[in-house]
Amino acid sequence: MTKQVAVLIGSASQTSINHSTIKHLQKIAPASLQLNIFEIGDLPLYDRDLDDQDIAAYTRVRAAVKDADAVIWATPEHNGSYSAMLKNAIDVVSRPAGQSLWIGKPLGLVSANASGSNRTVDALRVIASSSHINMPVCPYAGVIGGIFAGAFDDNGELVSEQAKKTLQGFMNAFETFIAKF
């Protein structure tokens, strides 16, 4: 049976390298995994005063996570950490208090960024371990860096052999990780 993976990308940019990275992962994903991108750029900033209101964007993203067997968070590096857009989605899905939909979902972390730093995924690992999130995290992260110098061609296709190997390693590890759950 194919596992459904909700993918949340912390960038709304039309030229997002993280979007291109996820599209590559969709192409190389094994038949056992279906990677489904759920847009989060339209989410209003989380405000607990809205918990009792029916916010369509909140409901859509919460349902996507609830129905998923696993999750991937993908983000650029913004000032040494993950994007505010992704953090907002994390907050939305973890609320209202006591109703977090993240708990127990296997999580994969992906970051395509200029520095090649693991800071973004390290910060997300901390968030994932918090009591309101409590997600098991795949130890192998899909971090590709220094990618702005020709890793993708003009059509958004990944051409860097090093990045391809890194992402294939991530996909293999994530498939094995999800199977444990």
- Reported residue count of the chain is 181
142 token code pair: 């899909």
Q: Where are the domains of the chain?
A: 3-179
Q: What is the CA radius of gyration of the chain?
A: 16
Across the strands, what pairs with 8?
73
For 3-179, which CATH superfamily applies? Flavodoxin domain (3.40.50.360)
Give the per-residue pLDDT at 149. 60
Q: In what order do the strands lie in the sheet with 142-145?
A: 33-37, 3-9, 70-74, 107-113, 142-145
pLDDT by residue, tens only, the chain of 181 residues: 899 999 999 999 888 889 999 999 999 999 999 999 999 999 999 999 998 899 999 999 999 999 999 999 999 988 888 999 999 999 999 999 999 999 999 999 999 887 766 888 999 999 999 999 999 999 998 887 765 567 888 888 899 888 899 999 999 999 999 999 9
- pTM metric for this prediction: 0.95
Helices 161-179 and 17-28 cross at an angle (nearest 10°) of 60
pLDDT of residue 148: 55
CA distance 46 to 91: 6
pLDDT at 150: 72
